[in-house]
């Protein structure tokens, strides 16, 4: 049985609030950049599929605008659609707010006594009580995540 002597560190950061602002911005910029590259690399395939299905005409219309007047009509249509969708979402949010404004569906967690905690971690009740009353407590876990001992 080959057991590691050093602690095992996870590669996934579970506390995103500790990540610096520069790292977050850099990560976001690289994500957008590589998604754009990914879409650009698929453009020949998308163009062939559009050509085979007869959508090439609409693709060329969207890519090369002919007149500013057409663009203004298109922008007005897009703005109308966005306003309708946004208004629908706002109406739904208002309806849910009015429906649940005075209803508290949250419940307080049930308190666990020393006996239940000792049964869960397979320790004596006195050890669990001492651990809960300790000012500083170090808990050692096994490879499966179970509590092995208190220190």
pLDDT tens-digit readout, 37-96: 998 898 888 878 877 777 666 556 555 555 656 777 888 889 999 999 999 999 999 999
* % of the chain beyond a pLDDT of 90: 23
Task: Kindly state whether residues 60 and 77 are assigned to the same domain.
Answer: no
DSSP string covering 92-146, please?
Answer: HHHHHHHHHTT-----PPPPP-HHHHHHHHT--HHHHHHHHH-SS--EEE-TTS-
Give the pLDDT of residue 58: 59
Average pLDDT value for residue range 27-38: 93
Task: Kindly state whether residues 100 and 119 are assigned to the same domain.
Answer: no
Average pLDDT value for residue range 93-100: 92
Separation between Cα atoms, residue 52 and residue 134, nearest integer Å:
72
Domain that holds residue 124: 114-150
The interaxial angle of helices 125-133 and 114-121, nearest 10 deg, is: 110
Separation between Cα atoms, residue 59 and residue 51, nearest integer Å:
9
Q: Is residue 133 part of a domain?
A: yes
Task: Kindly state whether residues 57 and 72 are assigned to the same domain.
Answer: no
Q: Is residue 32 part of a domain?
A: yes
pLDDT tens-digit readout, 58-67: 556 555 555 6
Task: Kindly state whether residues 60 and 74 are assigned to the same domain.
Answer: no
Separation between Cα atoms, residue 132 and residue 128, nearest integer Å:
6
Could you identify the residue written with the tokens 């995540």?
A: 145
Give the pLDDT of residue 88: 96
Q: How confident is the model at residue 28 (pLDDT cuts 50, 70, 90)?
A: very high
Task: Kindly state whether residues 71 and 60 are assigned to the same domain.
Answer: no
């Amino acid at each position: 049985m080959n057991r590691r002597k050093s602690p095992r560190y996870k590669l996934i950061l579970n506390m995103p609030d500790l990540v610096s602002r520069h790292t977050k911005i850099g990560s976001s910029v690289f994500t957008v950049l590589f998604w754009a590259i990914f879409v650009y690399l698929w453009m020949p395939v998308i163009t062939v599929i559009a050509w085979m299905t007869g959508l090439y005409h609409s693709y060329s219309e969207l890519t090369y605008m002919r007149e500013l007047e057409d663009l203004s009509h298109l922008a007005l249509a897009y703005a109308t659609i966005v306003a309708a969708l946004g208004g629908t979402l706002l109406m739904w949010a208002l309806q849910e707010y009015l429906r649940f404004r005075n209803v508290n569906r949250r419940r307080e967690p049930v308190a666990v006594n020393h006996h239940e905690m000792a049964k869960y971690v397979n320790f004596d009740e006195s050890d669990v009580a001492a651990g809960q009353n300790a000012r500083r407590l170090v808990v050692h876990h096994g490879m499966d995540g179970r509590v092995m001992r208190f220190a």
